[in-house]
Amino acid sequence: MALTARELGASVAVSGLIVAVVGLGAVLGDLPAGRIVARFGERRSIIGGSTVGAAGVLVCLLAQTPWMLGVGALLTGLANAVWGLARQSYLADAVPIGLRARAMSSFAAMWRLGFFVGPLLGAAVILVVGARGGFMVQFVGVVLSGWLMSRVPDPPRRHAGTAGTHATLPSILRRHRKLLATLGAGSLLMGAARASREAVLPLWAAHLGLDAAQVSLVFGVGAAVDLLCSYPAGHFMDRYGRRFIAVPSLVVIGASYLALPFSHDLLSIGVVAVVMGIGNGLGNGVIMTLGADIAPPATRAEFLAAWRLTHDTGMFAGPFGVGALAAVVPLGAAVAAIGGAALVGAGLLFRFIPVYSPWPPPTASEPGSSPLEKQEA
């Protein structure tokens, strides 16, 4: 998307802001997503999200100006919010806690598989039709995934007695403000660090003079490593706790950002992309797993919307910050700032994960409670 924005005449700073609009759409989508999923169920929510997402990709594909590209990015972000919440809520209901991290990480791995296959297919299509070939691949993927999920029934509710209990997002934010200001801040910084690579890597590659196909190849290699790390990360989270994986993930991501300004060719930026992929792969499923751990069963969808709001706010703020900083300081300094933010996030997760998601977890003999409810009791 950043390269398409550049092709349409946008500056480096504006290109970073357009990438950030995807995150803005996700933040705005989080506001109603909890009520949508609670009211319509996971399956219908995913179908609706896929429809909006496909429309957004088409707008990006046909965009003739940077602002049209931004509109398509916004629609894509809105769809991501509903889709992401619905899939997380589905797994939280369908999977027992002893397998939760592996399930979340495996699901995230399938998501990352798309980030591996997509750039490689995109590189091939880009060579034939130009930089917008990536949007063609994305459109096909969105339509196929929506169709597949439309064939999956909604999960049986484990806490049927809470049916019909709904809360507004503002009330959830007020009730859980302490958690969201501490553990949620770590989630926000993780979102910022993970999303920024989608702006930083292409922009730094363009700064080095690499073309669109080479950039897509760099993404594909990083995504392959990302994918390979996913399931082992889930296994270790289920065995040793969430902090065991969450903190190293952000440390590695932060270190890779700090190293990126020292890369100077395709090989060196590829090495940084691999390290970044390791960090990102270790973190696959961490935020979803933590959310499922601490969500009160009675208002799970609404709480998960608030929890995802922290992460998605970071996913918006990260690329936005890169674009804004790149307008006033060298790109390398903007990249280093994101690396520093990732390390701060690692410190927050180290401090607060044991508070809200203790390990070993509470016994299964209390199915109606969550660690969060115990903290607030």
- Is residue 61 over pLDDT 70? yes
Whether the Cβ atoms of residue 70 and residue 10 lie closer than 8 Å to each other: no
Residue-level pLDDT at 197:
86
Nearest in space to 21 (alpha carbons), one of 85, 66, 82: 66
Across 125-129, 251-255, 278-282, 302-306, least confident range:
125-129
DSSP one-letter code for 85:
H
Backbone torsion region of residue 211, taken as left when φ is above 0, otherwise alpha when ψ lies between -120 and 50, otherwise beta: beta
- Distance (Å, whole) CA 353 – CA 177: 16
Whether the Cβ atoms of residue 26 and residue 81 lie closer than 8 Å to each other: yes
Whether the Cβ atoms of residue 4 and residue 60 lie closer than 8 Å to each other: yes
Cis omega before residue 360 (within 30°)? yes
- Is residue 320 over pLDDT 90? no
- Distance (Å, whole) CA 336 – CA 259: 8
Residue-level pLDDT at 375:
57
Could you tell me if residue 194 is inside a domain? yes
What is the average pLDDT across 25-39? 86
Beta strand extents in 186-291 (DSSP E only): none
> Tell me: the pLDDT tens digits for 184-208?
999 999 999 998 888 888 888 888 8
- DSSP codes of every residue in 227-245: HHHHHHHHHHHHHH-SHHH
- Distance (Å, whole) CA 287 – CA 285: 6
> Tell me: the pLDDT tens digits for 124-178?
888 888 778 888 888 988 999 888 888 877 766 554 444 445 677 788 888 999 9
Task: Classify burial at 222, counting beta carbons within 10 Å of its beta carbon; exposed 0-12, middle 13-18, buried 19 or more.
Answer: buried
* Total number of domains constituting the chain: 1
CB atoms inside a 10 Å sphere around CB 39: 12
Could you tell me if residue 148 is inside a domain? yes
Could you tell me if residue 160 is inside a domain? no
Residue-level pLDDT at 366:
44
The CATH number for 342's domain is: 1.20.1250.20
Q: How far is CA 75 from the centre of its chain?
A: 16
What is the average pLDDT across 52-56? 93
- Is residue 367 over pLDDT 50? no
Residue-level pLDDT at 221:
80
Could you tell me if residue 218 is inside a domain? yes
pLDDT confidence bin for 51, thresholds 50/70/90 = very high
- Name the more confident of 232 and 166: 232
> Tell me: the pLDDT tens digits for 295-309?
888 788 889 999 999
- Name the more confident of 309 and 23: 309
Residue-level pLDDT at 350:
96
Specify the residue for token string 């506001």: 31
**What sign results for the dihedral spanned by CA atoms 285, 291, 297, 299?**
negative
pLDDT confidence bin for 254, thresholds 50/70/90 = very high
Residue-level pLDDT at 132:
82
- Name the more confident of 319 and 69: 69
Could you tell me if residue 163 is inside a domain? no
Beta strand extents in the chain (DSSP E only): none
Residue-level pLDDT at 295:
87
Domain span including residue 178: 2-155+168-358+365-376
pLDDT confidence bin for 373, thresholds 50/70/90 = low
Whether the Cβ atoms of residue 101 and residue 289 lie closer than 8 Å to each other: yes
Could you tell me if residue 250 is inside a domain? yes
Nearest in space to 150 (alpha carbons), one of 48, 79, 37: 48
Could you tell me if residue 239 is inside a domain? yes
What is the average pLDDT across 336-347? 96
Specify the residue for token string 């940077």: 66
**334-to-3, 201, 293, 323 alpha-carbon distances in Å:** 18, 12, 34, 8
- Distance (Å, whole) CA 340 – CA 192: 11
